[in-house]
Structure 1
Amino acid sequence: MKIQLGRFNTLNIVKEVDFGLYLDGGDYGEILLPSRYVPEEYVIGEPISVFLYLDMDERMIATTLTPHIQVGEFGYLEVSWINEFGAFLDWGLMKDLFVPFREQKMSMGVGNKYIVYAHVDEESYRIVGSAKVEKFLSKEQPPYAEGDEVEILIWQKSDLGFKAIIDNKYGGLIYDNEVFQPLYTGMRLTAFIKQVREDGKIDLILQESGRKHVLDFSETLLDYIGRNGGQTMLNDKSPAEEIYEVFGVSKKVFKKAVGDLYKRREIKLEPGKIILNK
């Protein structure tokens, strides 16, 4: 049995005691699931999914609570308190996530939030956080192809655009001229691979590229016009922000879809509006 500290594990229930359940931890012995986390229904001998971490006395303990991040993941966490050893961040459990001073890029402040990576310290075997994001990003050549859908965490603003963490593993960049919606540190969203460069750097876009995406949105736009009396005041002169607020697409995609519908004679264009062809 392989136990993963700082992650969810499926363990068998060994026995019930007044203060909780004891679970089979293999080489780690029996692990306590305190009463406050015991579900209403359970069966002795059956498996249960629990998150394993260390309590105040550095003993392994189980919980059915879901932390904001697990070991091996990046997250955007708030500092709860600070002492002479470092900062303690709220990650959704009774015991806060410790970030030693040596793992802080800048001095952390109570109430502020930071992107951190949770890992198990090899020397102390404690779960700790680190704000030194770069050293935990993979240096391997990314396996992505153009157009692949990925999950990203917005990391920080740079001179070129927004740095993002892709699938909890790789670093990527959304260039300023590709941004058509508000972005902020800690935001999680879906993005698409624009390209993987020879040096392994990844460029991201927030919408699918290519003809298929335009065709898909063309039908959405056509349906919208039909449901709004056969016309819309939104047109290629409308602000990009207004187009995104209504449709969730960039102005570039909007204009291509308008062109597509016009060529298909589905619509006609008049000053300041688009009208459905009957």
Structure 2
Amino acid sequence: MNNFLGRVVSGKVTDENDKNYFVQIEGTTFLLDKDEILKPLKIGCNFKGFAYENENHKMQITRNIPDVQVDHYAFGTVVQSKYGLGIFVDIGLPNKDIAVSIDDLPELTKLWPQHGDKVMIALKIDKKDRIWGELADEEIFKSISIPANPKLKNRNMKATTYRLKLAGTRVITDDYRLGFIHPSEREMEPRLGQQVDVRVIGILRDGTLNLSMKPRAYEAISDDSKMIFAVLKRSEDGKISYTDKSTPEDIKAFFGISKGQFKRAVGNLLKNRLIEQKDGEMLLTEKGKETDIE
């Protein structure tokens, strides 16, 4: 097995042509693209760079060293997927994308990373000197994460999914905090490597952020609901003499909407426990009094 691939190594410049220098490392010759070099190299000098096999199956060395290496984990961007093989990840090499095997991906292809998603990988070299991407495991993410902060409660954040399980989705936020999304806190399961918008709803015992992909109650209600809620908030005592039992004519005259629209809007507010109806009146609940809707 080639011990140079996927690592930063040093070699000696032994020759050149119009396009490349040739760098030799213990009997193996690597191409070095001259477009990378600002000042001409002398034959016999040493050169240090990242060694890999390019897409044409030729050994190459580059001064543009990627963050992803053997035993070095970092995020790369998914550029394509191939059914029956896996996904390909751009780690910054000019002519090589790194394959992640189907064996390391979710069983359901709909949960595979798509173009533009990000996965954290390191490189591994198989017995045939092929370079593969190896997904970071839970311990790697724990080692790079920072502790959860109780002050983050109710904060909106962006996060990238890195582990999909029946119990829920594991993510890491853009500021490197670990998070968990229970299935009840999402409308659908996100893909591996997908960036998602989340909201902090608590802190778990292990210090992980408890997250939700669902909108806040007031973000989920309709425009008609917001209008009715605003009328209630502006009333002197937090109640109005209109309910879903009011006549269509009275509702149209006061709110400017049909009774069907009104009932749907009121139902939305009731579902979110922002209002209640009692004795022919609609009034704010304690939660409604504490909630502001823009």
Q: TM-score, normalised by structure 1?
A: 0.49
Decide which structure has the larger Cα Rg and report it: 2
Q: Provide the TM-score with structure 2 as the length reference.
A: 0.46
